[in-house]
Amino acid sequence: MCRLLDGWMSELLLFYLQLHVTHRSPMMRPNNQASKHRSSHDTEREFGGTLGALCIPIFLPLTVLFLICMSRSPEASVFQWPPLLPSSDELWDPLAPLLLLGWIALHALLYLMPLGKVSEGLVLRDGTRLKYPINGFHGLCVSGVLLMLFLGLGAPLGHLFELLLPLAVSAVAMSFLLSVYLYIRSFWEPSHALALGGNTGNPLYDFFIGRELNPRIGDFDLKYFCELRPGLIGWVVINLGMLMKEVELRGSPSLAMLLVNSFQLLYVSDALWNEEAVLTTMDIVHDGFGFMLVFGDLCWVPFTYGLQAAFLVVHPQTLSWFKAAVIIALNGIGYYIFRKSNSQKNQFRRDPTHPSVARLETIATATGKRLLVSGWWGLVRHPNYLGDLLMALAWSLPCGFSHLLPYFYVIYFTVLLIHREDRDERQCRTKYGLAWDTYCHRVPYRIFPYIY
């Protein structure tokens, strides 16, 4: 019972950590007239307020280390009690912080290169718009070329397997250091530069949730930089390291490992290819840059989203071509739904007269915006979540059914997206009123057709 409770507690906190899961009053939306002029000390606290801000920065880094340890232990059991504790030798390696700093410096350099176009973000409270380089995909390609070069020169990339824990420890340390820097520097910023939700006056909470909205050093935007680059690209590099470790151990990569690597590389490439879309997300538009986002970007994503690859190094799986084909088909279907539905809505929001969306059936709303009721958005109310979840399942299936651990991501992500969907529904109902109810009547299922 106690173990179950522990499992549930961790699930709950993980669920709450997710950068996007927040309960905010509609009064806090950035495009709300009133909020434009507010420098708020009266905002609703999220993530359990001060208690959450105290517990989450302790609990979640420990969870990351715990999951990595478990994925490499023969038992790989999340319910093992007492949990396996790593020795200090396993936790620390002076190479890890050097590699991490080098990696971040490389991406900072690539960020500053005059590659790709420059886009403007949404209008800020002071009426200005910030400029952002759209060159994350270039960063991914250059990283790929450099890695191939290093591999060609005989660099032991498989050593990342041994370095995983020290790297995660370094990423935790870096998250704390960067968050402290961000917290301190925010006191020199004008009030309009602060996030509405991160300026409560409670140091613990503000440190956690983030005070400054768009911290920049010159033109270098720290939040935008961390959002998709070092962590997301780092995730696929770690995966490649696990693949190389498998090659060292068994002579060639397994089919399961190749699938996990390819699927997750596709996902990361897609995110970076569509990098511009991040400029309208809640993370960029609304959330301050504090420990919550820093840790999520630099530690949580790279070290927990790819646990399957680390698991496969120690728990090899044989996969028949038939099973592999089914899993590839599942990932393909998921990706197709995810990409098509996201692109359809983005296109519709950018230009509803575009030939690809002009013929879709829509409902008018009092705000002047219309809602799609046919096409992907007529299938379920969040087809993009459906696609994302199908892909998440396809990432775990190559690991077989003997352990729960490789299913961590899909379980966590299901809870996350169900909650996120519910929150989005509430916001849409507030925004669109009766029109939203009509939409729900026309499209009764939220994520899974005929199920939910």
Which parts of 159-218 interact with ligand NDP (CB under 6 A)? none
Q: Does 423 bind ligand NDP (CB under 6 A)?
A: no
**Nearer to ligand NDP by C-beta: 229 or 420?**
420
Q: In one letter, which amino acid is 248? A: E
Q: Return the bridge partners of 117, or none.
A: 134
Selected from 311, 338, 395, 407, the binder of ligand NDP by CB under 6 A is 338
The token duo for 203 is 């140091």
Site string for ligand NDP, 142-161 (x = CB under 6 A): --------------------
Q: What is the dihedral of CA 335, 336, 338, 342, to 10 degrees?
A: 140
Q: Is residue 420 close enough to count as binding ligand NDP by CB under 6 A?
A: yes
Residue 269 Cβ vs ligand NDP, minimum distance, rounded to whole Å: 14
Contacting ligand NDP (CB under 6 A), which of 371, 394, 397, 399? 371
- 388 contacts ligand NDP (rule: CB under 6 A): yes
Q: Which of residues 273-292 bind ligand NDP (CB under 6 A)?
A: 281
* Contact between 374 and ligand NDP per CB under 6 A: no
Nearest distance, CB of residue 197 and ligand NDP, angstroms:
17
Q: Is 369 an interacting residue with respect to ligand NDP (CB under 6 A)?
A: yes
- Interface positions, 15-34, toward ligand NDP (CB under 6 A): 20
Nearer to ligand NDP, 150 or 452 (CB): 452
HSE-CB of 82 using CA atoms within 13 angstroms: 2
Which residue in the block uniquely carries the two structure tokens 């420059």? 118
Q: Of the candidates 379, 381, 385, 366, which has an alpha carbon nearest to the alpha carbon of residue 433?
A: 366
Runs of H (alpha helix) within 93-188 = 95-112, 136-152, 160-185
Judged by CB under 6 A, which stretch of 56-64, 78-86, 114-122, 384-392 contacts ligand NDP?
384-392
Within 10 A of 128 (CB to CB), how many other CB atoms are there? 10
| CA distances for 390 relative to 41, 180, 302, 413, 452, angstroms | 41, 38, 20, 11, 15
Given 377, 395, 408, 412, the residue binding ligand NDP (CB under 6 A): 377
Q: Quote the CA–CA distance of 380 and 443 in Å, as a whole number.
A: 6
Does 349 interact with ligand NDP (rule: CB under 6 A)?
yes
Residues 6+ apart with CB under 8 A from 280: 122
Give the distance from CA 270 to its chain's centroid. 13
Report the amino acid identity of residue 383: P
The least CB distance from residue 388 to ligand NDP, in Å, is: 3
Structure tokens at 400: 């077989």
For 423-443, give one letter per residue: b (16+ CB within 10 A) or e. ebeeebbeebeebbebbeeeb
The answer to whether the beta carbons of residues 286 and 210 sit under 8 Å apart is no
C-alpha–C-alpha distance, residues 278 and 293, integer Å: 14
Query: Which residues are 217's β-sheet partners?
Result: 220
The window from 106-114, 209-217, 239-247, 382-390 that contacts ligand NDP (CB under 6 A) reads 382-390
Tokens representing residue 214 in the block: 């768009």
Residue 308 engages ligand NDP in binding (rule: CB under 6 A): no
**Residue among 291 and 338 whose Cβ is closer to ligand NDP:** 338
Task: Among 47, 137, 303, 385, indicate the residue that binds ligand NDP (CB under 6 A).
Answer: 385
CB of 331 to ligand NDP, least distance (A): 14
Bridge pairing between strands 117-120 and 131-134: antiparallel
Q: Measured from the CB of residue 382, what is the shortest distance to ligand NDP in angstroms?
A: 6
Choose the binding region for ligand NDP from 125-133, 158-166, 256-264, 420-428 (rule: CB under 6 A): 420-428
Instruction: From 24-32, 68-76, 139-147, 342-350, give the range in contact with ligand NDP by CB under 6 A.
Output: 342-350
* Residue 187 Cβ vs ligand NDP, minimum distance, rounded to whole Å: 31
Q: In the complex, what is the shortest distance from the CB of residue 39 to ligand NDP, in angstroms, rounded to a whole number?
A: 25
Smallest Cα–Cα separation from 73: which of 247, 314, 407? 314
> Do the Cβ atoms of 249 and 314 come closer than 8 Å?
no
Binding site for ligand NDP (CB under 6 A): 20, 281, 338, 342, 345, 348-349, 369, 371-372, 377, 382, 384-385, 388, 420, 424, 427-428, 439
